[in-house]
Chain A
Amino acid sequence: MELNWTFIGQTIEFVIFVWLCLKYVWPPIMAGIEQRQKEIGEGLEAAERGRKSLEVARNNAAEQIKATKKEVAEIMEQANKRQAKILDDARAAANEERLKIIEQAREEAEAEANRVKEKLRREMAELAVRGAEKIIRKNVDQNTTSSIISELVAGAKR
């Protein structure tokens, strides 16, 4: 072991290299690393934000689908109700119409029956009169007999 000028030379080298490192190596590399750390951090933050907004959008979509389904169900229900009502109404109207028609038919039938009755009564009365005429012509005074017949006819009308 012998200490000589190498010692001084190495000290000078050490000072030079530390100075060079201090000036051209450490600060730019550190600045670069910090810059990238910042960028990576920002990137991660952005990704997190994206993930959150995606979740929000997904929730929104789910909610919207739910609301739409509800609306559809409501509309369906309304439609069903409406259909039922229409059917009921139609049924009621048809029923009314039927009753009306039946009523009318009955009235007509009654009127026809009345008419036929009247006609029958007339024919019977005529027949009776004619019968009576024949009887009376054979027997008694015609006038007295016809009044009696008229009385009979009036009685039969009632």
Chain B
Amino acid sequence: MSDNSEKDVHQYIEHHLHFLQVDLRDGTVVNAVTKDGQPCHVTDILTFNGCKAAHTSKDAGPAPLINPHTVNVDSLLVSFVLGALFIGLFAAVARKFTTTGKPGKLQTMVEMAVLFIDGNVKSIFTRRSRLIAPVAITSFIWILLMNIMDLIPVDWVPDLAGLLGVPYFRVLPTADANITMSMAVSVFVLMFWYTFTRKGVMGFVKDITLHPFNHPVMIPFNFMLESISLLSKPISLGLRLFGNMFAGEMIFIMIALLNTAGTFYTQPLLSVPWAIFHILIICLQAFIFMMLTVVYLASAADENE
């Protein structure tokens, strides 16, 4: 950022926060044009035809909360690659698991992760369930890997994508509310599944109407209270992760903006401490998501609750 004018700052931030969005109606990339000024199509990117960021006439008015026409290709791609990395790595270790002799370092690492999750799950989710531990370890390792993407220097991926003719690329999937809310809602659905299979529909109805005041008169009040507390669970679960990672990314972008031609040292000076601190947040948020998932599912499955 040599020229630090207001317009450039605005553009820089917008570019870094823009997803590689594809409009599913016509296959065009949102807010991107080809070299000849035509709307950029997915095939242009796949054939390395070269697209660049630009506002088009389509981009009018405020963005709706729910857009049924687009998909964030970058978030989905990165999350898929990282999920596949997790499953591939762990499945490879599981396949070659040796119980005789000295285990390798990779196996030891995987074992530590598995035992860590197993200990946490067993201490909270006291009922037997085959599903709970895989859900917990998948969400923990996967979110951890996705969060770690935040440590890649903030300009590398968008600039590299630009060189390859990809107009936008956000490498941090957990800074996409779609990703975090999707996982939170998946957990929410699992909560209902656990409640209905462990307590039955009547158990669920009792849960939501007879708590915290077990009296017929209080049923409307209980229902209101319990509905809010139930609905707040997926929202807080998803938005907590999203908010933390988005804010972390935003601060990296802000620090990058301080880096003018005269003060090239501000970015390393500020972003390195922030990155070190952010490692804590990365691990903590992955851990919190996993723990809350287990806690919510445990309370949904526990007949005594």
Give me the interface of A with B, judged by CB distance under 8 Å.
1-11, 13-18, 20-22, 24-26, 28-30, 32-33, 35-36, 39
**Are A2 and B70 in contact (CB-based, < 8 A)?**
yes
- The interface residues of chain A lying within 8 Å CB-to-CB of B79 are 10, 13
Within 8 A of A (CB), among B21-40: 21, 24
Tell me if B's interface is mostly helix, strand, loop or mixed.
helix
Assess A10 versus B94: contact at CB under 8 Å? Given A2-B65, A15-B186, A20-B87. Answer: no
Partner of A30, one of B21, B63, B114, B176: B114
**Are B87 and A6 in contact (CB-based, < 8 A)?**
no
Partner of A26, one of B71, B99, B134, B142: B134
- The interface residues of chain B lying within 8 Å CB-to-CB of A6 are 71-72, 75-76, 176, 178-179, 182
A14 to B72, CA, bound (A): 16
A14 to B186, CA, bound (A): 8
- The interface residues of chain B lying within 8 Å CB-to-CB of A1 are 65, 177
A10-B183, A33-B111 are known; give 12 further A-B pairs, CB within 8 A.
Answer: A2-B70, A7-B185, A9-B71, A14-B182, A17-B142, A20-B87, A22-B134, A24-B91, A28-B95, A28-B97, A29-B111, A30-B133
A15 to B131, CA, bound (A): 11
A83 to B25, CA, bound (A): 123
**Are B130 and A22 in contact (CB-based, < 8 A)?**
yes
- The interface residues of chain A lying within 8 Å CB-to-CB of B60 are none
- The interface residues of chain A lying within 8 Å CB-to-CB of B63 are 2
B192 CB-CB contact with A under 8 Å: no
**Are B94 and A28 in contact (CB-based, < 8 A)?**
yes
Task: Point out which of B99, B135, B183 has the most chain A C-beta atoms below 10 A from its C-beta.
Answer: B99
* Contact pattern, B 46-80, Cβ under 8 Å of A = 1, otherwise 0: 00000000000000000111111111100110011
Assess A21 versus B178: contact at CB under 8 Å? Given A2-B63, A10-B79, A14-B183. Answer: no
Assess A7 versus B90: contact at CB under 8 Å? Given A2-B67, A26-B134. Answer: no
Partner of A4, one of B66, B138, B142: B66
Interface size range of chain B in the complex: 35 or more
A3 to B76, CA, bound (A): 13
Task: List 13 contacting pairs A-B, 8 Å CB cutoff, sorted by A.
Answer: A1-B177, A3-B178, A4-B68, A6-B182, A7-B178, A10-B178, A10-B179, A18-B134, A18-B138, A20-B91, A21-B90, A21-B137, A29-B93
B86 CB-CB contact with A under 8 Å: yes
Which residue from chain B places its CB closest to the CB of A16 in the assembled complex?
A: B83
- The interface residues of chain B lying within 8 Å CB-to-CB of A25 are 87, 90-91, 94, 134, 137
From residue B65, how far is it (CB to closest CB) to chain A in Å?
Answer: 6
A8 to B69, CA, bound (A): 12
**Are B135 and A18 in contact (CB-based, < 8 A)?**
yes
Task: Point out which of B71, B114, B137, B182 has the most chain A C-beta atoms below 10 A from its C-beta.
Answer: B182
- The interface residues of chain A lying within 8 Å CB-to-CB of B142 are 17
A110 to B118, CA, bound (A): 120
What are the 8 tightest A-B residue pairs by CB atom distance, in nearest-first order? Answer: A6-B178, A10-B182, A32-B97, A5-B71, A28-B94, A21-B134, A22-B134, A6-B72
From residue B245, how far is it (CB to closest CB) to chain A in Å?
Answer: 13
A90 to B66, CA, bound (A): 128
B115 CB-CB contact with A under 8 Å: yes
From residue A95, how far is it (CB to closest CB) to chain B in Å?
Answer: 85
- The interface residues of chain B lying within 8 Å CB-to-CB of A2 are 63-67, 70, 177-178
* Contact pattern, B 142-171, Cβ under 8 Å of A = 1, otherwise 0: 100000000000000000000000000000
B110 CB-CB contact with A under 8 Å: yes
- The interface residues of chain B lying within 8 Å CB-to-CB of A15 are 186
